[in-house]
């Protein structure tokens, strides 16, 4: 029986090859993006689950008492006491990091070195591709494959030496003991250099990891068996009093336990998180929503085109019913035909998913989505998609067409589709979906432009800088840089927006608070051209001793000023009392991914400077940057030049906006093409029904415009409603996505909605006009003769 259904299905589909191709391609595209969205979701939700102990590993996080905020950094001492005092803890592992100069031969770079307990590679499963994972010897260091190539090229790195802290008298020479597989894209923990905690220095002394005041990047506990998070948190409670006594300026209210499997997903909620988060929720759910919209558009298109094709098969349906076929048999037959198309579409989608995922991985460098059809979960998803799409796209035509009575069919008066309300509503949904995609794509494109040109509260276009390590390097480099042509002014700072800042606890009116702090030179606001809103600028430094005054931004005043001016008020920072001399205009304190925070600008002596900054007009920056690099290498041959353009502070945000705009642009193109093909099919069916009416009207002298209005006036209100819904849906979706990624963004303008709606409507009307033109080319006598 099934063979007969398939034979008839294939025979009928062969007669309607254009119908098959259009729907297979449409559904195939939708399923290709659906596979990508599904794998993207799985990728985001499976960070770190490849460690064999994943179910027994948890991270200890800290809730700070004065602001109730959750932090990733944790007292190092926890890792010493927890295995000794907690019954269910088998081992504890600390991971910390520090910037240092690394030298090998003539290669010298600024790098991030990671330091860990000796049990790190026993708890975690980072594959070692050569050498040994053992670094019990403090003179050993592990490196990633990328780092091995960077420093040693094609040479075997095992046994080779690297010098860390190469610019200091406390330099250490370590031997490469092993090379670790460096493809860490699917991991919260990533490192290029890994060595013992005992090799970590603070200044010129080893770090005291027994001190409750010292906080490491992460503390992990390996449990003897998985237990409830609440019970572990309760067992850590006795440590709180000890921490608060040792560090009263950074009191911890409670410890929070985060399982390894969910750590990456929740990492974006942490402050001071120095591990890598998973994909943002918007990148996961936005992709799923767009894939569903494409698939829904393709399915609606399929249903409308199926009804159009079935209009030519009414007599076949009537004969089958007269010969004894039941409605159920006809439904199965029509669903079988839909199933064949969906099966072909699944195969096409499986093929298309490879270039689609490759494009996606290339666009987002931290992505490594793999397509493996031997994966049983993916195979089950594809089977579910086959059944879902067969029923979604084929059910309405199957039940609708099979319900007609033979008597109505053979009278020759029965025609359907095209002008039916359901068909027009489905067409309207397709147009609305395509408009949503267009609005989202254009919004992100405009946001990328905004990130390039936005006023961030300081002059970022005419500044370049470099990391200078210490005061002596800064002074020497500053003197040399002042002689370089086109350098208008130079200065020094410890922090600079977009590249470096710190958080600090302070007291205002005896109340403890936390804010971002920028330790800067006293000419910082002049160099960056940050506007003073109230009060006076920073006082000039005398004999390298900064005056005890600070500036705060407008957000600081709103957060802590209680509606009053703070100029002249006292604020206590690091046990020192400062006077708030002025309030500056809000500036982008970090990047667009984070909101503007309450900030304090404090002058410091040159001994604390980490950065050299120079004012250089944008048109001269490339030449000046090259001159600065040459000057640095001449003055400091054993220190790497680490220069930057201040404009690059927003480079990542601009890249993200461009990539999302490109992704949404592809989605928009696909949905618009599907919607237009569906509209063309529906209009064609409507014209086919009314060819005799069109012929009579033309014979009686009706113009093309009059005929077009009569044929298509029923679509006007559907298109209007679709545009309203599409604009509303696009506005809401674009705003949600923008706000979830960028805390500072350009929003969705009225102009974008107008342009998007106008573009989609123009394409829709051009499609209708094309079909009208084709209809008017037919000789009226031919239509009348055929009927």
What secondary structure letter does DSSP report for 502?
E
Q: What pLDDT is stored for residue 501 in this prediction?
A: 86
Tens digit of pLDDT for each residue in 249-291?
889 999 999 999 999 989 888 888 999 988 877 778 878 888 8
pLDDT digits (tens, 9 = 90+) for 472-524: 899 999 999 999 999 999 999 999 998 888 888 888 888 888 899 999 998 99
Tell me, what's the pLDDT at 767? 80
Dist CA 487 CA 434 (whole Å)? 51
Can you give 301-349 as a three-state secondary structure string? HHHHHHHHHHHHHHHHHHHHHHCCCCHHHHHHHHHHHHHHHHHHHHHHH
Classify residue 724 by its DSSP letter.
H
pLDDT of residue 326: 67
Q: How far apart are CA 507 and CA 486, in angstroms?
A: 43
Asked if residue 418 has pLDDT above 50, the reply is: no
Q: For residues 291 and 352, what is the distance between their CA atoms, to the nearest angstrom? A: 14
Of the ranges 119-128, 395-404, 435-444, 671-680, which one carries the lowest mean pLDDT score?
Answer: 395-404
Cα gap 682→714, rounded to integer Å: 12
pLDDT of 412 higher than 60 = no
Give pTM, 2 decimals: 0.79
Query: Which pLDDT band holds residue 406 (cuts at 50, 70, 90)?
Result: low
CB atoms within 10 A of CB 518: 25
The residue that leads in pLDDT, 625 or 226, is 625
Confidence of residue 17 (pLDDT cuts 50, 70, 90): low
Residue 96, SS3 per DSSP: strand
Show Cβ contacts of residue 214 under 8 Å, excluding neighbours closer than 6 positions.
75, 76, 77, 207, 208
Name which of 449, 513, 502, 462 is nearest 67 in CA terms: 513
Q: What percentage of the chain reaches a pLDDT higher than 70?
A: 88
Angstrom distances, CA of residue 11 to CA of 15, 119, 125, 225, 764: 7, 67, 56, 61, 33
Residues 6+ apart with CB under 8 A from 716: none
Report the alpha-carbon distance of residue 555 to residue 319 in Å, rounded: 77
Packing angle, helices 750-776 and 691-699, rounded to 10: 80
Integer CA distances (angstroms), 638 to 195, 200, 476, 632, in order: 23, 21, 15, 10
Nearest to 224 by CA among 402, 58, 71: 58
Least confident of 8-17, 355-364, 649-658: 8-17
For the segment 200-250, what is each residue's pLDDT rounded down to a tens digit? 998 788 999 999 999 999 999 999 988 888 889 999 999 999 999 999 888
**Once rounded to an integer, what is the mean pLDDT over residues 630-637?**
91
Greater confidence (675 vs 475) lies with 475
Q: Label residue 184 by pLDDT band (50, 70, 90).
A: confident
**Extents of the domains making up the chain:** 54-269, 463-652
Residue 254 in contact with residue 63, Cβ under 8 Å? yes
Which CA distances in Å does 216 have to 61, 75, 77, 99, 723?
A: 11, 6, 9, 14, 54
State how far the Cα of 462 lies from the Cα of 464, in Å rounded to an integer.
Answer: 7
CA distance 754 to 335: 41
Average pLDDT rounded to a whole number, residues 441-446: 86
């Amino acid at each position: 029986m099934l063979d007969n259904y398939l034979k008839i299905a294939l025979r009928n589909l062969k007669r309607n090859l254009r119908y098959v191709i259009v729907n297979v391609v449409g559904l195939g595209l939708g399923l290709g993006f659906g596979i990508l969205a599904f794998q993207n979701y799985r990728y985001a939700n499976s960070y770190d689950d490849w460690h064999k102990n994943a179910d027994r590993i948890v991270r200890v996080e800290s809730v700070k008492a004065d602001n109730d905020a959750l932090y990733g950094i944790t007292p190092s001492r926890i890792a010493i006491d927890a295995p000794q005092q907690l019954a269910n803890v088998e081992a504890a592992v600390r991971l910390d990091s520090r910037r240092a100069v690394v030298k090998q031969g003539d290669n010298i770079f600024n790098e991030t070195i990671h330091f860990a307990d000796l049990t790190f590679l026993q708890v975690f499963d980072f594959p070692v591709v050569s050498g040994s994972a053992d670094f019990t010897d403090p003179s050993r260091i592990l490196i990633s494959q990328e780092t091995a190539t960077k420093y040693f090229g094609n040479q075997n790195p095992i046994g080779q030496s690297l010098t860390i802290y190469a610019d200091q008298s406390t330099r250490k020479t370590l031997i490469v003991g092993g090379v670790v597989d460096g493809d860490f894209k699917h991991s919260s923990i990533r490192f290029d250099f890994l060595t013992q905690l005992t090799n970590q220095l603070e200044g010129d002394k080893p770090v005291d990891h027994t001190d409750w005041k010292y906080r490491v990047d992460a503390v992990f506990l390996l449990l003897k068996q998985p237990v409830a998070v609440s019970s572990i948190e309760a067992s850590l409670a006795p440590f709180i009093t000890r921490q608060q006594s040792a560090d009263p300026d950074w009191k911890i209210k409670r410890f929070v336990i985060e399982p390894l499997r969910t750590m990456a997903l929740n990492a974006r909620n942490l402050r001071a998180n120095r591990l890598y988060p998973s994909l943002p929720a918007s990148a996961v759910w936005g992709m799923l929503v767009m894939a569903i919209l494409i698939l829904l558009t393709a399915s609606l298109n399929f249903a409308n085109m199926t009804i159009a094709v079935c209009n030519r098969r009414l007599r076949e349906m009537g004969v089958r019913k007269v010969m004894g076929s039941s409605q159920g048999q006809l439904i199965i037959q029509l669903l079988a035909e839909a199933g064949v198309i969906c099966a072909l579409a699944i195969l096409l989608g499986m093929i298309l998913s490879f270039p689609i995922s490759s494009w996606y991985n290339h666009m987002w460098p931290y992505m490594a989505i793999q397509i493996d059809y031997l994966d049983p979960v993916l195979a089950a998803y594809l089977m579910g998609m086959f059944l879902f799409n067969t029923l979604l796209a084929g059910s309405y035509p199957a039940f609708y067409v099979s319900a007609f009575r033979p008597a109505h069919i053979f009278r020759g008066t029965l025609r359907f589709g095209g002008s039916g309300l359901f068909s027009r509503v489905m067409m309207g949904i397709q147009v609305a979906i395509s408009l949503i995609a267009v609005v989202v794509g254009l919004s992100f494109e405009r946001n990328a432009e905004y990130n390039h040109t936005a006023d961030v509260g300081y002059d970022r276009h005419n500044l370049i800088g470099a990391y200078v390590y210490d005061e002596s390097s800064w002074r020497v480099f500053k003197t040399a840089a002042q002689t370089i042509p086109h350098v208008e002014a130079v200065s020094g700072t410890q922090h600079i927006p977009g590249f470096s800042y710190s958080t600090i606890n302070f007291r205002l009116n005896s109340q403890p608070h936390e804010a971002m702090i920028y330790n800067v030179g006293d000419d910082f606001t002049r160099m960056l051209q940050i506007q003073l809103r109230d009060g006076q600028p920073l006082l000039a430094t005398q004999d390298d001793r900064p005056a005890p005054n600070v500036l705060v931004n407008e957000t600081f005043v709103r957060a802590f000023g209680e509606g009053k001016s703070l100029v002249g008020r006292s604020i206590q920072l690091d046990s020192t009392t400062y006077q708030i001399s002025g309030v500056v205009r809000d500036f982008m304190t970090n990047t667009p991914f984070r909101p503007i925070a309450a900030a304090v600008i404090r002058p410091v002596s040159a001994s604390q400077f980490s950065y050299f900054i120079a004012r250089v007009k944008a048109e001269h920056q490339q030449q000046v940057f090259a001159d600065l690099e040459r000057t640095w290498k001449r003055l400091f041959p054993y220190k790497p030049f680490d220069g930057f353009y201040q404009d690059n502070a927003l480079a990542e945000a601009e890249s993200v906006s461009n990539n999302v705009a490109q992704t949404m642009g592809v989605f928009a193109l696909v949905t618009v093409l599907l919607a237009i093909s569906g509209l063309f099919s529906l209009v064609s069916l409507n014209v086919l029904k009314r060819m005799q009416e069109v012929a009579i009207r033309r014979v009686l002298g009706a113009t093309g415009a009059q005929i077009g209005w009569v044929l298509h006036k029923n679509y006007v209100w559907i298109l209007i409603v679709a545009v309203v819904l599409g604009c509303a849906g696009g506005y809401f979706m674009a705003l949600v996505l923008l706000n979830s990624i960028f805390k500072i963004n350009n929003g969705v303008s009225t102009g974008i909605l107008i342009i998007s709606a106008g573009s989609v409507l123009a394409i829709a009307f051009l499609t209708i006009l094309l079909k009208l033109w084709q209809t008017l080319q037919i000789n009226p006598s031919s239509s009348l003769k055929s009927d």
